[in-house]
Structure 1
Amino acid sequence: MDMKPVIHKSAAVIFFFLCLFVYTKLAGPIPFVVNSTNKADGFQVAGEGKALITPDKGHLTLGVQVVGATAQSVKDQMNVMINKVTEAVFALGISDKDVKTDNYSINPTYDYSAGSSPKITGYSSSTNLAVTVLDIAKVNSIIDAATKAGANQIGGVRFDNKDTTEAETEARQKAVTAAKAKAEQAAKAVGFKLGKVINYTENNTGMPGYRSMLIDKAASPDSTQVQPGSNEIVINVTLTYEVR
């Protein structure tokens, strides 16, 4: 009886498993991926909802910058100017708790001419007031009054809301409705039945509106017109359903 073919087959099998053993030692386990169809995993679906809301609160920064020959002179000039700006803001009914000094600095200015060490040529001073405006109808008047009083830097104009609860509720309802519609469409198309919602996650990405301005000596004499527009509240939800 000829045993050679059997021996050859046995040797090939042994050689194959030996190679497989060496490979797994060098490269790690052979990847094995299965897409889970376990009903316990549930079915996830996302939805987005948006709602527009009219701003009712404003924020802006009023600044003064001056230059002079000495630190004392720029400090004195700065104090006079920023006090006038502050008084102008208070005169429009803004509470002192809604006005905060955001920055105050005095720095030397230098001459960096080539071939010489930097030389102090004077000083500059700047300060900013962060103002919260609870009546946004006053924002334009505040900017006009502040610039008339001496403010020469305006920035950080932003509009938001004291309370966004109603808009968030509207956006949330739209997001959940959208997610449920997606889930029902998918279940019908694939052929499974939805059970109860077993998990809910939410992400609120409301976006307050920002505006920016530059004020200079050549500005138009017409009154400032900064428009608050509207803010958009965006809520994203994820629903996880049981699958029947």
Structure 2
Amino acid sequence: MENKTQMTMMIGVIVVLVLALFFSLGQKQIIVSNGDQVHKVSVSGSAQKDAMPDKAVLRLTVQNEGKDPKLVQSQNSETMNTVIAALKTAGVKDKEIETSGYNLYPIQDYDPTTQRMINRGYRLQNTMVVTTTNIDKVGYLLQIGVSNGINSVDSLTFSLSDEKEKQVKAELIADASRQAKDKAESLAENVGASLGKVLFVTESSYMPGIYYAERAMLTKADVGGMAPSPQINPQQVTVQLIVNVDYSLD
């Protein structure tokens, strides 16, 4: 009998706690500061804009194989230096070229007769990243790279430069903030209050990069020496931004 009474009391306590939580969630959120209650309203505003990319990032690789690792390295370096020199002649600056990967490893095959791995040579992959804001020359830069020894175009990504992204975000922040304030004023009016000062504000944005090309293996034979420049037409980038604002209610 005593156990049943205790169980009933526990159930009652749980029910009270659940009801208290339910009603607290339905109440207006408040912030307590210096002992005074400050009623607030939390709103969000969103905005988005399509913008044409003004920056391209090319990942280009020189890959070669051979029996002698030193010779493989020497041949690879010679080819890569030729590519870099050609890109600079085309107007690419030193700061726009950087090495992103250098991987030399043995090429091994399994011999079922001896049940051992046999080393049949070495492969070297030397990858560089080229960044340019001259979108109109992307096709030409690919043409130069491949014609001078690039045999793997790993990726081509379009995005906004820091300057243009900052400009677009400034416009979106203004639009999203205006939308958030309109919502807050409407809510305040409907509950018989007036909108006070901003208590808290956050901003978040999303801008996906556009990948034009996946990894492709190319050789000089594929393009027949100096290939014609490929047609590169990047799509617009959609920038999305959300502003969250807390206003006090007077």
TM-score between both structures, scaled by the size of structure 1 = 0.80
Residue 16 of structure 1 and its aligned partner are, at CA, apart by 8.2
- Cα distance change on mapping 1:15 and 1:88 into 2, 3 Å: closer
Q: Deviation digits for residues 59-106 of structure 1, max 9, x if unmatched? A: 111111111122123222212211211111111111112211211122
The equivalent of 1:9 in structure 2 is none
The amino acid that maps onto 1:181 is D
The equivalent of 1:107 in structure 2 is 105
Note if contact 1:54-1:229 (Cα within 8 Å) is conserved in structure 2. yes
| Partners of 1:37 and 1:73 in 2: CA distance | 74
Bigger strand fraction:
2
| Partners of 1:173 and 1:56 in 2: CA distance | 23
Note if contact 1:111-1:120 (Cα within 8 Å) is conserved in structure 2. yes
Which of the numbers 230, 239, 243 marks the counterpart of 2:245? 239
Task: Report the 3-state secondary structure (helix = DSSP H, G, I; strand = E; otherwise coil) of the residue aligned with 1:112.
Answer: strand
Gaps of 5+ in 1: 1-11
The equivalent of 1:43 in structure 2 is 41
Residue 130 of structure 1 and its aligned partner are, at CA, apart by 1.1
| Partners of 2:28 and 2:162 in 1: CA distance | 47
Give RMSD over aligned pairs.
3.0
Note if contact 1:194-1:241 (Cα within 8 Å) is conserved in structure 2. no
Q: Does 1:91 align with 2:92?
A: no
| Partners of 2:3 and 2:137 in 1: CA distance | 87
TM-score between both structures, scaled by the size of structure 2 = 0.79
The equivalent of 2:236 in structure 1 is 230
| Partners of 1:243 and 1:16 in 2: CA distance | 49
Gaps of 5+ in 2: 31-37
The equivalent of 2:145 in structure 1 is 146
Note if contact 1:57-1:162 (Cα within 8 Å) is conserved in structure 2. no
The amino acid that maps onto 1:240 is D
Residue 107 of structure 1 and its aligned partner are, at CA, apart by 1.0
Q: Does 1:126 align with 2:125?
A: yes
- Cα distance change on mapping 1:219 and 1:185 into 2, 3 Å: farther
| Partners of 1:176 and 1:16 in 2: CA distance | 57
Q: Does 1:216 align with 2:215?
A: no
Residue 54 of structure 1 and its aligned partner are, at CA, apart by 2.6
Report the number of matched residues: 230
The equivalent of 2:54 in structure 1 is 56
Residue 108 of structure 1 and its aligned partner are, at CA, apart by 0.7
Q: Does 1:117 align with 2:111?
A: no
| Partners of 2:156 and 2:249 in 1: CA distance | 50
The equivalent of 2:156 in structure 1 is 157
Residue 180 of structure 1 and its aligned partner are, at CA, apart by 2.5
Q: % of aligned pairs identical?
A: 22
| Partners of 1:76 and 1:48 in 2: CA distance | 55
Q: Does 1:193 align with 2:193?
A: yes
Residue 185 of structure 1 and its aligned partner are, at CA, apart by 4.2
| Partners of 1:29 and 1:114 in 2: CA distance | 74
- Computing the radius of gyration over CA atoms, which structure comes out larger, 1 or 2? 1
The amino acid that maps onto 1:135 is N
Q: Deviation digits for residues 5-30 of structure 1, max 9, x if unmatched? A: xxxxxxx9x99865545x37x98984
**Which shifted more, 72-81 or 221-230?**
221-230
The amino acid that maps onto 1:123 is Y
Q: Deviation digits for residues 140-165 of structure 1, max 9, x if unmatched? A: 11100000001011133222214022
Q: Does 1:204 align with 2:202?
A: no
